[in-house]
Chain A
Amino acid sequence: MRVFTAVIAIAAGILILGGYFLQNIFPALADVQTLLLNWAIIMAGAATLVGIFNLISVHTDKVRRREQGSIYSALLVICLVAALLFGMILRPDHSAMKVVMSGIIIPVEAALMGILTISLLYAAIRLLRRRADVMSFIFLITAVLIIFSSVTLPFANIPGLNTFGRWMTQILALGGARGILIGVALGTLTTGLRVLFGADRPYGGN
């Protein structure tokens, strides 16, 4: 069984790669790639449904066993089923669904972002009290400068402030971002090769 799954995984990976690099030579590989990817999309959608049903099952079980915090589980299950049913029945473009989105989901998550803003501000203020070192000063100074460069002053602009702020974002921050992206790319490449060679079997079989 382990060999069978590994063969499937490796073959699928090779065919997908062939569709990327050899579709001009072998156009059939592009069709095969599309077919496999559609299978993957279907399986991912089914997996989403499986996840939803698993979530309902877990919290339903908590409610049935009357565990601590089961009320929240009951609320979750009720809201989930209701949104599922309304979404399936009314479709997402129904006004009722828009009200639910605009009146519940967006304000709640926006409120969380507001709380995050207050928390970050509080942390920045208290940082030097806990750790008054160079990095703390650099961090705070950088944050102040970026914030200051991203706004406009009501009376007059400070010369060079926007330029300094842009240099900070386009040079320093961009350099770090590229490094992160390169690391991600290398990690993805390595992971793909390991899967292709059978060294990594995230689909199971150790």
Chain B
Amino acid sequence: MSDVIKCPVCGESNLPDQEFCRYCQSRLQPLTGTLKGADAAIKPGQVPTKKNTAELEPILPQWLRDARDSARKSAENDAAQAGRQSQESFSASSTPDLLAGLQSQAGNEEEETPDWLANITGAAPKPKKPQADSPEVRWVELGGAKDFAQEESDAEPFTPSWLEGLAPTEPQSDELTDWFQQTDNSQKSGQPEPQKPPFDTSFSAPVEPAAESGDTPDWLKKMAAESAQSNEALFDDSSKTFDAPSTDTPDWLRQMAAEAGEQTNDPNVPASDASDWFQQIAADDGSKNNNAPVISAGTFDAPSTPSSDAPDWLRSMGDFQDHPQGAVPAPGAEAAGFSEAGFGEPEAAASSAENLPEWMKDFPSIDNEQSAPGASPSWLKGDAPASSAGAELPSWLSGTQAPEQQQAPAQDEAAFGDIPGWLKAAAPQSSVYETPSAEPTPAPATLSFDSPDWLNAFKSIDTPDAPDEVSPPAFTPDSQTSENMDALFADMPDWLSNATDTSPSTSSTLPPAANAEEITPGELPSWVQAMRPVDTGSSARSSSTSLSSDQTLESRGALAGLQGVLPSVPGFAPTSKPKAYSIRLQASEEQQAHAALLEQILAAETEPVPIASFSALTTSRGLRWFLVAAVFAVLMAVLFMGTQIFPMPVGVPPEINGALQVSQSIPEGASVLVAFDYEPARAGEMEAAAAPLFNLLRQPNLTFISTNEIGSILAERFISGPLADSDKSGFQVLNLGYLPGGQMGIRAFAQNPGLTSPQLAGITSLSQFMALIIITDSPDSARMWIEQTSFTRGAIPMVVISSAQAAPMIQPYYDSQQISGLVSGLYGGAVFEQSNGGIPGITRTYWDAYSLGMLLAMVLITGGGLWNLVLGLRNRTSMAGGTK
């Protein structure tokens, strides 16, 4: 098996001495000589170099080889006829050559037509044929078919699906069909039906009947007239040699076939039943390609065998085109005859009439009557020669008249221009054969604003301005020299530039694609498959067979068709378990010591640092006992001794004086409200401060009330205590007890004392009391009484007897005249007692002890403070010295 080479493309085995695969014609041997390395990748910026690509000629697609062959042959024919033909042959020979190779792809049009395109008019799409049924594909790939026109003649007549989709079906009718039918009917009714030349007089009707049809648009009439003129001018020498082959090939491909048949000196190739408009184009192309109208006329005989599947609009155009020049009445400028094919061919007309479908049989009225120039849709006028520019013709239609009058290439474009832009896109030949640099598109005519966009686009394609302005096609007799061919390939893609010029002998020696079915084309069209870099890959693969044993053929994706592009390296997978590594740190003793030091540092950071502060001051128990003993001893000694060493204070403060005046102003037996709001702890001070005042009252009617729970008991104690000692035992006392509610209770009591306390029945207002005496040791209690009774007590005096501690807080109320007097503490009682006529009271009993105790406290604070200050300084000094 080592002496067998396996085709990298199709996988078939070939003999080692074969250069190309006998099945798929792919290269088996690597390139040698000057082409060696031609398949190397082109680097960016690299200029394509000229190569001798003769070896690659067999791998060129068939269409390309055909195109080149036709170009070559045309060059030969042109060289022979160069003396008598100059301008027309120059311009007409290019386009057929370029389109020659498309014949092989005609069959693929059916399979390449998408469903949406086939169903555009609602017709049921034909089932797709298997790819094996289209041998044209093999032509392109293998280049074995030389004369595809003959093969097409044997094929069954059919219309490509992309054209069938345009053919209206019986039950369906679109606007276009209706419009055509209306036109036909109008023409039928208006004129007697002459002998029907099937397709030649479709648009050559006399002017009068056409003018009589009122339904015919003016622009269509004008178009017909112009077409007739141009047809007469252009195709007066058209021969009658067209035979209409009835094949499945589309017309535009049939044109290619006609050209090919013409090249093979077989002018009697039967024309297909394709659309006549394309036959017209083909005939025109063929005639101009050969620079002989006779040849072009004989290539196609469209009128003889019109396609039964062709749509009426195509048929009408065919009539328009196939009108024999001689048979066209051509009454003046309005006689229209567009088609050079089948001009004056009765046989062909008869045969074509037989093949007409039902929907086309309704159309001959147009043909016979040669009217309805205006009934033709505007886009059909693209092929109409603009013999006379009608004033009523739209501008964009007038632009379509030029190509017919000018050159065949332009007419060819017009033929394709009959197909809408989206149909032209379906045709594969445009992008393949057009070389923008070599064939610039002529400037379009002025666009009509009343035409749709797609018509504008279409019109722009097939309306060159002037024949002189048309750029010469790529394959012209002058440009078909070897130099020009190289220049042509310099503009081609890289893969195409790598291909060499195929010699006819090489292509002829290629075997036919017998095993082409084994190639898996996938879903790509054949012409796209031909462009796949299969050959490059195969050559590279054959040369690198020894490098990698993996020659797997990529079956899908971007690398489909390539083999060994992504070779798998054997032994790449791991064969053993990964080595285990220890994660234990390999630290030296020094590193470990450093780590321990670092840990100590971190631990020291987290340890709490005691805050340096003064030591807690210890309680001096001895001092406390000393103080207790000193105070207790002094005070007890003074009290028990009953000394009166310290004189009573002299001078009467204003607040005390006010209290004194109030007490003296209270009449005898007057009702005096007394509030006892002090704590038992201060009972001694409060009783000593209040007793002198009550001693000044003359048998008052005292009403005691207290906001303190103990107050009522303290009141009883006060009555039975200090007052009892006085000479005022005749006081009438009413103890109301506890007044709950705090200041609210005071407020309620102040508003209606009788309501709050049943004992005070008859007293409805606080103002009914002669005086209000508040005995309190709390500034808050004094404030509540002062504030809550201010609105109800009226003008009755209010005297506050407070402790020395609360006096500063109550003093403001005296200064603001809210109270009449203030007696505070033992000092106030002593002052007030001195105004009591010299009768010693309780204040005098306490005054020596009080004064001595205050002096003792002052001495202790001063002496003790200084002593402790010294001790403190010493301690601070010692601590400061210890710190240093």
Measuring CB to CB, which residues of chain A are less than 8 angstroms from any residue of chain B?
A: 20, 30, 33-34, 37-38, 40-41, 44-45, 48, 92-93, 97-98, 101-102, 105-106, 108-110, 112-113, 117-118, 121-122, 124-130, 132, 140, 143-144, 147-148, 150-154, 162, 166, 169-170, 173-174, 176-178, 180-181
Residues of A within 8 A of B744 (CB): 37, 40-41, 44
Which B residues are closer than 8 A to A by beta carbons?
A: 617, 620, 623-624, 627-628, 631, 645-649, 651, 653, 679-684, 709-710, 712-714, 716-717, 720, 735, 737, 739-742, 744-745, 747-748, 751-752, 755-756, 779, 783, 791, 804, 807-809, 811-812, 815, 827, 847, 850-851, 854-855, 857-858, 860-869, 871-873, 875
Nearest opposing residue in chain A for B848, CB measure: A154
Q: In whole angstroms, how far apart are the Cα atoms of A127 and B867 in the complex?
A: 11
Also in contact, A110 and B680, with CB within 8 A (given A125-B868, A148-B858): yes
List residues of chain B with CB within 8 A of the CB of A98: 713, 716-717, 720
CA–CA, A44 and B742, complex, Å: 8
In the complex, which of the residues A30, A121, A169 has the most CB atoms of chain B within 10 Å of its own CB atom? A121
Question: Can you report 14 A-B residue pairs in the complex whose CB atoms are below 8 A from each other?
Answer: A41-B756, A44-B742, A44-B744, A48-B709, A101-B717, A105-B680, A110-B680, A113-B682, A122-B624, A126-B620, A129-B875, A154-B647, A174-B815, A176-B808
| A30 neighbours in B (Cβ, 8 Å) | 751
A106 pairs with B683, CB closer than 8 A: yes
Give the distance in Å from the alpha carbon of A205 to the alpha carbon of B748 in the complex.
28
Q: Kindly provide the distance from the CB of A92 to the nearest chain B CB, expressed in whole angstroms.
A: 5
Compute how far the CA of A176 lies from the CA of B807 in the bound complex, rounded to whole angstroms. 12
Are B861 and A33 interface neighbours, CB within 8 A? no
Min CB distance B783 to A, Å, is 7
Establish whether residues B748 and A38, one from each chain, have CB atoms under 8 Å apart when the complex forms.
yes
Distance in angstroms from A146 CB to nearest chain B CB is: 9
Q: When A and B form their complex, what is the total count of cross-chain residue pairs whose Cβ atoms lie within 8 Å? A: 187
Complex contacts, B755 vs chain A, CB 8 Å: 34, 38
Find B710's partner among A101, A178, A181 (CB 8 Å cutoff).
Answer: A101
Q: In the complex, what residues of A have CB within 8 A of residue B751's CB?
A: 30, 33-34, 37
Chain A residues near B680 (CB, 8 Å)?
Answer: 101, 105-106, 108-110
With A33-B751, A151-B851 known as contacts, the answer to whether A41 contacts B740 (CB < 8 A) is yes
Q: Which of B617, B683, B741 touches A126 (beta carbons < 8 Å)?
A: B617
CB–CB B855/A151 < 8 A: yes
Q: Is the Cβ of B857 less than 8 Å from the Cβ of A147?
A: yes
B653 — nearest CB in chain A belongs to which residue?
Answer: A166
In the bound complex, how far is the Cα of B755 from the Cα of A30, in angstroms?
14
Helix, strand, loop or mixed for chain B's interface?
helix
Nearest B-chain residue to A150, judged by Cβ? B827
- By a CB distance below 8 angstroms, the chain A residues around B682 are 113
Q: Which residue of A lies closest to B679 (CB)?
A: A109
Partner of B683, one of A110, A117, A151: A110
| Complex contacts, A180 vs chain B, CB 8 Å | 809
A154: B residues at CB distance < 8 A? 645-647, 851
Distance to closest chain B CB from A191 (angstroms): 13
A147 and B854 within 8 A (CB): yes
With A118-B627, A129-B869, A173-B808 known as contacts, the answer to whether A102 contacts B860 (CB < 8 A) is no
Residues of chain B within 8 A of A153, CB atoms compared? 646, 851
Residue among B649, B682, B862 with most chain A CB within 10 A: B862
Q: When chains A and B are docked, how far (Å) is the Cα of A113 from the Cα of B680?
A: 10
Cβ B851 vs Cβ A41 within 8 A = no
Q: Across the A-B interface, give the 8 residue pairs with the lowest CB-CB distance, nearest first.
A: A125-B864, A109-B681, A129-B868, A37-B748, A128-B869, A41-B741, A173-B808, A129-B872
Evaluate contact between A97 and B713: CB separation under 8 angstroms. Answer: yes
Kindly list chain A residues whose C-beta atoms are within 8 Å of the C-beta of B646: 151-154
A128 → B minimal CB distance (Å): 4
CB distance from B879 to the nearest CB of A (A): 13
- Measured between beta carbons, the chain B residues less than 8 angstroms from A112 are 681
Residue of B nearest to A33 (CB): B751
A143 to B854, Cβ gap below 8 A? Answer: no
Given the interface pairs A37-B747, A128-B869, A154-B646, the reply to whether A144 lies near B712 with Cβ below 8 Å is no
B857 touches A121 (CB 8 A): yes
- A110 x B716 contact (CB < 8 A): no
In the complex, what's the smallest C-beta–C-beta distance from A165 to chain B, in angstroms?
A: 10
Min CB gap B654→A, angstroms: 10
Question: Could you say which residues of chain A place their CB within 8 Å of the CB of B624?
Answer: 118, 122
A128–B752 alpha-carbon span in the complex (Å): 55
Q: How far is the CA of A92 from the CA of B708 in the complex (A)?
A: 13
Contact B783 A181 (CB under 8 A): yes
Find out whether the CB atom of B631 lies under 8 angstroms from the CB atom of A121. yes
Give complex CA distance A130, B868 in Å: 8
Q: What are the residues of chain B within 8 A of A93 when measuring CB–CB?
A: 716, 735
| Bound Cα distance from A206 to B735, whole angstroms | 42
Residues of A within 8 A of B742 (CB): 44
Q: Nearest B residue to A110 by beta-carbon distance?
A: B681
- Alpha-carbon separation in the docked complex, A128 to B720 (Å): 46
Given A132-B873, A144-B862, A151-B850, 4 new contacts (CB under 8 A): A44-B740, A101-B714, A105-B680, A174-B808
Knowing A101-B680, A125-B623, A128-B872, the reply to whether A40 touches B741 (Cβ < 8 A) is yes
A169 to B802 CA separation, bound complex (whole angstroms): 15
Identity of the chain A residue whose Cβ is nearest the Cβ of B648 in the assembled complex: A152
Contact of B858 among A97, A144, A176 (CB under 8 A): A144
Q: State in angstroms the CA–CA spacing of A140 and B681 once bound together.
A: 25
Task: Name the residue of chain A whose CB is nearest to the CB of B617.
Answer: A130
> Which chain B positions have C-beta within 8 A of A129?
617, 868-869, 871-872, 875
How many Å lie between the Cα of A31 and that of B679 in the bound state?
34
Chain A residues with Cβ under 8 A from B783's Cβ?
181
Determine which of B752, B804, B864, B871 lies in contact with A124 in the assembled complex, contact meaning CB atoms within 8 Å.
B864
A41 to B747, CA, bound (A): 10
With a cutoff of 8 Å between Cβ atoms, the chain A residues found around residue B791 in the complex are 20
Q: Do B748 and A132 touch across chains, with their CB atoms under 8 A apart?
A: no
Q: Contact between A41 and B617 (Cβ–Cβ < 8 Å)?
A: no
* A85 and B647 alpha carbons, distance in the complex (Å): 48
Distance in angstroms from A169 CB to nearest chain B CB is 6
* Residues of A close to B627: CB separation below 8 A: 118, 121-122, 125
Q: Is the CB of A92 within 8 A of B681?
A: no
A154 to B643, CA, bound (A): 11
Known: A40-B741, A109-B679. A118 touches B811 (CB 8 A): no
Residues in chain A near residue B628, CB distance under 8 A: 118
- Closest residue of chain A to B614 (Cβ to Cβ) is A130
In the assembled complex, the Cα of A34 lies from the Cα of B744 at a distance in Å of: 9
Measured between alpha carbons, how far is A177 from B811 in the docked complex, in Å? Answer: 9
> How far does the alpha carbon of A14 sit from the alpha carbon of B671 in the complex, in Å?
34
- Distance in angstroms from A116 CB to nearest chain B CB is 9
Nearest chain-B residue to A104 (Cβ)?
A: B680
Residues of B within 8 A of A170 (CB): 811
| A105 surroundings in chain B (CB, below 8 A) | 680, 710, 713
Closest Cβ of chain B to A204, distance in Å, is 19
Residue in contact with A151 in the complex, picked from B620, B854, B860, B861, CB distance below 8 Å: B854
**How far in angstroms is the closest Cβ of chain A from B578?**
67
| Among A98, A106, A177, residue most surrounded by chain B Cβ atoms (within 10 Å) | A106
The reply to whether B617 and A132 form a contact with Cβ atoms under 8 Å apart is no
Report the separation of the CA atoms of residues A143 and B682 in the bound assembly, to the nearest whole angstrom: 20
Contact of B808 with A92 in the complex, beta carbons under 8 Å = no
**Residue of A at shortest CB range from B850?**
A151
Nearest CB in chain B: distance from A176 CB, A: 7
**In the complex, chain B residues whose CB is within 8 Å of the CB of A113:** 681-682
Residue of A nearest to B629 (CB): A118
Chain B residues near A150 (CB-CB < 8 A): 804, 827, 854
